[in-house]
Structure 1
């Protein structure tokens, strides 16, 4: 445990509780760590690898074979990149961070780094001509952060792309912008602290560092305003990334408050999705993506086991009632006009994705499409209408009249009698 944490606890006067509390936390964190390790049997995800590498407990055998799979996937993706314009800026960045977190040499990273530089240049170029990035500011910031963590000096135009869009953020208090703010803070913080590897001199000029620091201070002021009294920032999933920003800027108190809230939520089973878990774990260990820059992979202990976890306590199955139970599904267009509605019989523990499939097989008038993402399937099209970047629209999922779903369609389990609305919305 870090001395700062202990001091803080002594100050709060919980002298007797502190060790027990921390030991209890430690147990919970290790079991989350083991659960993440268990997800290495799923298709490889660089974010999961980064979290396993930033943790204090390792299973070297699992991490090595996972790294091997990631490298094969990355090579395959890069070899097809000319045709597909994929992988995206953000995904490439995560792969490169995963390689750096395993202390892979330059030869392993070279192709991906060159590709990432090209992606960022293309983003910049697109902004110049169309005033908007090809991807989004979250991916852009993650790309800048990744090059910075790999000690690559970024030129002026790429860095200015980080700070050029302050006006976008003012009114959006939603989780996308919290994730984005956090990623920008990490990227800028990296620039402020970067030194030339062989010499002990700053990588960037005094002026550039001062500008970056000023931007960090402004973004953090906003983030502090957004932290609720529970410790949450935005929602529980964006809180994980926001806490990286608090750790990176040395705000111990707000990090602790957020961490305790997330641990409570994790014990209630909120972090089943491996991507969500991979963003949670580093901040529980008080680590951020900036720590990857200092990793040297020596002296780690490989003591982590894939726990045979009991599934989390689930409610007892209700007695089969004579009435079948339903979920009500409706679709609204941009003008809030209902264009479709139906009811779907609900069997035990169906996910929203299964409900949509059921609706599709029961009714030829209903169709939908998803694309795979690191978070799981993402709903892109309903009844032939596609959410698009060019029109800045997306399919928003709402429960009841106004509760937006923060889980994805594969993770969310509708309740009997619940109304689910698929609403075409602007962002």
Structure 2
């Protein structure tokens, strides 16, 4: 699981944007941009992925972006200096470095970040050598390589060899896409004298690996344009743009524009959506010079909208099962208003715990049963018979008579 922290946007405004998306795509995409900018002035923790998306956009609110950049710098320095608590993960530090490069920030101002990321990547590679999987996952591993590459930091041969896809490895679409972006960056990297940064042999191996991965992505594009689900599609389209497959990118872009209402009301999801709608990828960060930027984005241009009353009747049925699929507790919760699954869990009086991620609160323990990273277990959320929820517990809103299963599962 990638680290993710929730920054909610006004639900009703996103609802209205979704209704207008097909009618006026350009204006609505710009409105989505404004909504993402609004999330940066909240009191919630800073999210480097949000800053990256804002920097890749053609219009800016430079004052707001500078304030957010300062918040990100302070936040990362605190994370790297903290003697207690969990250290930041590979993927999180990588996102910070990409955000700083997107603002043309010198690496010397965050001097601890690059050595820290290099150390984490070595730990990822050592774990890969011993256990056939990285310490976190291939998505974070690839994101770490990409962040160093975009910042023109040369990457060790051993780290790069970990990105070579093996026949027995079957990655998620968004993981394949992030691997493609990292490999593409390495393949195209040059020294200040315009010579290739890596040897012809290394570049050839990187190209072969990249072509295998991009082929898998292309083969998974459905007739309606999606690649996996709509969230993995947003990341996969970056990979297609990176290899100039514009036909499939355009087909996927149409699928995102036609996505269900409120699908991207989570700022983390929106931060992954905006770049591809603007025909941008994380690789474009390396080409930014931050001069002559259009400073015309204004958070006051969208009028505030009062969210209507979503009072519902009925009940939500919760069942919690252990790894052996045996029931360990159940609850029946009345829906007195439009409640999130997080609110339903609170109303159910179940003993549960969460941890904060870039995507919002992530369920870690239910009914005194804890998911364990060492055992590669997590809480899977299933609606009805077998529909896995694509949203987190704070974003998902159950409906009356819905049965939701919280299943401890292996990943």
The answer to whether TM tops 0.5 is yes
* Equivalent residue number for residue 92 of structure 1: 93
In the TM superposition, residue 389 of structure 1 has moved relative to its aligned partner by 2.1
String of CA shifts for 1:200-228, please: whole Å, max 9, x gaps: 11111111111111111111111111111
User: Aligned partners of 1:108 and 1:213: how far apart in 2?
Assistant: 33
What is the DSSP-based 3-state SS (H/G/I as helix, E as strand, rest coil) of the residue aligned with 1:167? coil
Q: Judge conservation of contact 1:127–1:134 (CA < 8 Å) in 2.
A: yes
* Equivalent residue number for residue 219 of structure 2: 225
* Equivalent residue number for residue 284 of structure 1: 277
String of CA shifts for 1:339-375, please: whole Å, max 9, x gaps: 2211001121100000001111xxxxx3111100000
Given the alignment, which residue of 360, 370, 377 partners 1:376? Answer: 360
* Equivalent residue number for residue 235 of structure 1: 229
Given the alignment, which residue of 324, 330, 336 partners 2:319? Answer: 330
In the TM superposition, residue 331 of structure 1 has moved relative to its aligned partner by 0.9
* Equivalent residue number for residue 53 of structure 1: 55
Q: What stretches of structure 2 of length at least 5 have no aligned partner? A: 1-20
User: Aligned partners of 2:296 and 2:376: how far apart in 1?
Assistant: 47
* Equivalent residue number for residue 192 of structure 1: 187
User: Aligned partners of 1:39 and 1:153: how far apart in 2?
Assistant: 34
* Equivalent residue number for residue 9 of structure 1: none
String of CA shifts for 1:243-277, please: whole Å, max 9, x gaps: 110111101011111111112227x2211000000
Q: Judge conservation of contact 2:364–2:379 (CA < 8 Å) in 1.
A: yes
String of CA shifts for 1:165-219, please: whole Å, max 9, x gaps: 45221xx6xxxx11111100000000111111x2111111111111111111111
User: Aligned partners of 1:275 and 1:64: how far apart in 2?
Assistant: 19
Q: What stretches of structure 1 of length at least 5 have no aligned partner? A: 1-20, 361-365
Q: How many equivalent pairs are there?
A: 389
* Equivalent residue number for residue 142 of structure 2: 141
Change (3 A) 1:314 1:231: farther
Change (3 A) 1:282 1:103: same
String of CA shifts for 1:113-159, please: whole Å, max 9, x gaps: 11111111121122233333211111000000000001111111010
* Equivalent residue number for residue 389 of structure 2: 405
User: Aligned partners of 2:379 and 2:302: how far apart in 1?
Assistant: 35
Q: Judge conservation of contact 2:145–2:182 (CA < 8 Å) in 1.
A: yes
Could you state the TM-score of these two structures normalised by the residue count of structure 1? Answer: 0.87
In the TM superposition, residue 410 of structure 1 has moved relative to its aligned partner by 0.3
Q: Name the structure, 1 or 2, with higher relative contact order (CA <8 Å, separation 6+).
A: 2
* Equivalent residue number for residue 211 of structure 1: 205
User: Aligned partners of 2:64 and 2:241: how far apart in 1?
Assistant: 28
Higher helix fraction (1 or 2)? 1
String of CA shifts for 1:284-321, please: whole Å, max 9, x gaps: 01111111111100111100011454678978746x7x
In the TM superposition, residue 337 of structure 1 has moved relative to its aligned partner by 1.9
String of CA shifts for 1:61-112, please: whole Å, max 9, x gaps: 11000001111101100101x5445110000000111111000113113211
User: Aligned partners of 2:255 and 2:315: how far apart in 1?
Assistant: 33
Q: Judge conservation of contact 2:53–2:271 (CA < 8 Å) in 1.
A: yes
Q: Judge conservation of contact 2:98–2:147 (CA < 8 Å) in 1.
A: yes
Q: Judge conservation of contact 1:35–1:307 (CA < 8 Å) in 2.
A: no
* Equivalent residue number for residue 62 of structure 1: 64
Change (3 A) 1:315 1:236: farther
* Equivalent residue number for residue 355 of structure 1: 344
| 2:76 is the counterpart of 1:74 | yes
| 2:241 is the counterpart of 1:255 | no
* Equivalent residue number for residue 395 of structure 1: 379
Could you state the TM-score of these two structures normalised by the residue count of structure 2? Answer: 0.90
Q: Tell me the C-alpha RMSD between the 2 structures.
A: 1.9
What is the DSSP-based 3-state SS (H/G/I as helix, E as strand, rest coil) of the residue aligned with 2:258? helix
307-316 vs 49-58, which moves further: 307-316
What is the DSSP-based 3-state SS (H/G/I as helix, E as strand, rest coil) of the residue aligned with 1:163? coil
* Equivalent residue number for residue 10 of structure 1: none
User: Aligned partners of 1:264 and 1:132: how far apart in 2?
Assistant: 36
Q: Judge conservation of contact 2:22–2:257 (CA < 8 Å) in 1.
A: no
* Equivalent residue number for residue 116 of structure 1: 117
Given the alignment, which residue of 236, 252, 264 partners 1:271? Answer: 264
